[in-house]
Amino acid sequence: MSKISISLTSVGLAILLASTMAAKKNPPLEPSGRDIYMDRCSACHGEDGKGNGPAVGALRITPSDLTVLARKNNGSFPEERVKYIIGGWANLIAHGSREMPIWGDLFLPKKPADQQIAGERFRSLVSYLISIQQ
């Protein structure tokens, strides 16, 4: 093996080690509320939250227009009700049962150690929904 290839291998290993250490120091950021919404909600509720997502044609129940929740609640965003629905505690057929809501365990952690992360995701999504109110 030549000195050049040994040096390149050493450099490659050093870069790999440095990136691994950086990843441990700075874990990937949790997705934003908008990211969660786009990933888990927009297929039915639409990118704009108006209930016009691409999956609407396949649904028996028309998704809610999420941009008018505050307007329909006398100008106050119904945060507790929204949390109740997102958390899977409301009996909404379209979202699935409490054991298997459409978004899986994103908000319902299986392990106690994941509760804080699930709570952050939950708050991020609710904050995003508040931000799209008309």
Q: What is the mean pLDDT of residues 6-11?
A: 46
Confidence band, pLDDT 50/70/90 cuts, at residue 125:
very high
- Please give the pLDDT value at position 77: 97
41 & 84 share domain: yes
- For residue 67, the Cα-to-chain-centroid distance in whole angstroms is 18
Q: Specify the higher pLDDT residue, 37 or 7.
A: 37
Per-residue tokens: 131: 């931000």
Q: Tell me: the pLDDT tens digits for 10-68?
A: 444 445 445 444 444 555 578 899 999 999 899 999 999 999 999 999 888 889 999 99
Give the range of the structural domain holding residue 111, as residue numbers without chain letter: 31-131
Helices (H), 1-134: 3-25, 33-40, 42-45, 79-86, 115-131
63 & 116 share domain: yes
Q: Tell me: the pLDDT tens digits for 76-114?
A: 999 999 988 887 777 777 676 655 456 666 777 778 878
pTM of the complete model: 0.71
- Please give the pLDDT value at position 112: 82
18 & 84 share domain: no
The C-alpha atoms of residue 125 and residue 82 are separated, in whole angstroms, by: 10
- Residue 36 · residue 125 · CB < 8 Å: yes
Number of domains in the chain: 2
